[in-house]
Amino acid sequence: DGGITQSPKYLFRKEGQNVTLSCEQNLNHDAMYWYRQDPGQGLRLIYYSQIVNDFQKGDIAEGYSVSREKKESFPLTVTSAQKNPTAFYLCASSMMRLGLAGSETQYFGPGTRLLVL
Amino acid sequence: DAKTTQPNSMESNEEEPVHLPCNHSTISGTDYIHWYRQLPSQGPEYVIHGLTSNVNNRMASLAIAEDRKSSTLILHRATLRDAAVYYCILKSSGSARQLTFGSGTQLTVLP
């Protein structure tokens, strides 16, 4: 089955610890995204990548880092600099359509819920 | 990015049609109108999108006003599984590919 997988489903972070959230897709999509969702709120963009070895900051990139070494994978690291990391993290991907970016649709993974101990 | 305005919440009875409104008075000519929904504790799911003409798919219909300043997502027969937050999002054809989410409409379906 094609889709996006995120792991783990729940993640606990201790004070001062870096944690990495996994996101893998087998849809052969070019673009991948990380969003953060706080309770009762919409999603906010953290980072996105349109091609391997390249990525751009979103609206709330501070305290996060990413890598895109393979087309299928886009892991997100929540660093100790992120002072309020408790949230629901969602990864998404899309097939890029040159000149028709407005019609691109995104596919989302099931999410990882990060909690601070 | 052009903004959208949606009611915070709506209720519907099971097996009845539901009309979810969205206002986007500052929409530009190249902005597509997208709808996604998010069930509790899950990732958002694409529902439908359109540019100017009304659109139908297996999940829903999208009715777009002639001046494009508003649109309506139509669920033809609501089921309990349709209870979710529905997001109306404008997506431009510029280089930015991310989705900009508002707070959406919480749809409650009553049995």
pLDDT single digits (tens) B3-44: 899 999 999 999 999 999 999 999 988 899 999 999 999 999
Residue pointed to by tokens 């139908």: B56
Nearest chain A CA: its distance from B26 CA (Å): 16
Residue pointed to by tokens 């008075």: B25
All residues of chain B having their beta carbon less than 8 Å from the beta carbon of residue A48 are: 97-98
pLDDT single digits (tens) B34-82: 999 999 999 999 999 999 999 999 999 999 999 999 999 999 999 999 9
Longest CA–CA span in chain B (Å) reads: 44
Nearest chain A CA: its distance from B8 CA (Å): 11
Tokens for A4? 């996006």
Tokens for A82? 């992120």
Please give chain A's pLDDT, 117 residues, in tens.
679 999 999 999 998 899 999 999 999 999 999 999 999 889 999 999 999 999 999 999 999 999 999 999 999 999 999 989 999 999 999 998 777 788 889 999 999 999 988
What is the torsional sign of CA A94, A96, A97, A101? positive
Tokens for B56? 């139908």
> Exposed e or buried b for every residue in A73-89, given b needs 16+ CB within 10 A?
ebbbebeeebeebebbb
